[in-house]
């Protein structure tokens, strides 16, 4: 099975989780990037790095939560993909301690978007950066991915 990890990360939290996952999947981490990475900008998003997922069977997508929603850069990226016949794991990172403050909503948006593009989402996760369970939450992702033998 060909496995990929594609993320958007502005300040490095999502990248940190993705790097941990890359050790398990033995896949490289590919970043989605936009011309203007200012999270407060209202300019239309223009992607400057838009990784192809054509050659993958299994993909982990990761992104930050922005204003109780999925990062607009990841949203724009996913909107442009065809995920037919792909198995997917989605995760988001957020600052606040509870997934009720944006994480659940953002990861649900991510799942729905992947499914609307033909993908099958096997599971999702939220990592709460200011929670004292942060490391456990990351470990849970690693365990889920290892158990599923992907």
Ligand X SMILES: Cc1cc2nc3c(=O)[nH]c(=O)nc-3n(C[C@H](O)[C@H](O)[C@H](O)COP(=O)(O)O)c2cc1C
The residue ranges that bind ligand X (CB under 6 A) are 9-15, 39-40, 64-68, 93-96, 101-102, 129
Of the pair 11, 116, the CB lying nearest ligand X is at 11
- Please tell me the distance from the alpha carbon of residue 129 to that of residue 133, in angstroms, as a whole number: 9
- Give the helix/strand (H/E) hosting 3: strand 3-7
Rounded least distance, CB 66 to ligand X, Å: 4
Of the pair 31, 117, the CB lying nearest ligand X is at 31
Cβ pair 110, 78 in contact under 8 A: yes
- Please tell me the distance from the alpha carbon of residue 126 to that of residue 102, in angstroms, as a whole number: 10
Of the pair 33, 87, the CB lying nearest ligand X is at 33
Task: Tell me the three state secondary structure of residue 97.
Answer: coil
Rounded least distance, CB 72 to ligand X, Å: 10
Rounded least distance, CB 82 to ligand X, Å: 25
Cβ pair 104, 126 in contact under 8 A: yes
Of the pair 2, 133, the CB lying nearest ligand X is at 133
In this structure, what is the dihedral angle of CA atoms 13, 5, 20, 15, given to the nearest 10 degrees? -20
Rounded least distance, CB 84 to ligand X, Å: 28
- Please tell me the distance from the alpha carbon of residue 77 to that of residue 35, in angstroms, as a whole number: 13
Rounded least distance, CB 119 to ligand X, Å: 22
Of the pair 27, 94, the CB lying nearest ligand X is at 94
């Amino acid at each position: 099975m060909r496995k990929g990890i594609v993320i958007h990360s502005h300040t490095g939290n999502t990248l940190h989780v993705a790097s941990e996952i890359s050790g398990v999947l033995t896949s490289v981490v590919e970043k989605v990037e936009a011309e203007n990475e200012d999270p407060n900008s209202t300019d239309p998003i223009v992607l400057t790095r838009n990784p192809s997922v054509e050659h993958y069977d299994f993909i982990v997508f990761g992104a930050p939560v922005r204003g109780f929603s999925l990062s607009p850069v990841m949203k724009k990226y996913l909107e442009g993909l065809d995920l037919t016949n792909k198995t997917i794991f989605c995760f988001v990172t957020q600052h606040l301690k509870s997934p009720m403050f944006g994480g659940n909503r953002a990861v649900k948006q991510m799942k729905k978007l992947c499914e609307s593009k033909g993908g099958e989402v096997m599971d999702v996760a939220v990592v709460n950066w200011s929670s004292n369970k942060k490391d456990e939450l990351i470990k849970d992702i690693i365990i889920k991915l290892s158990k599923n033998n992907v």
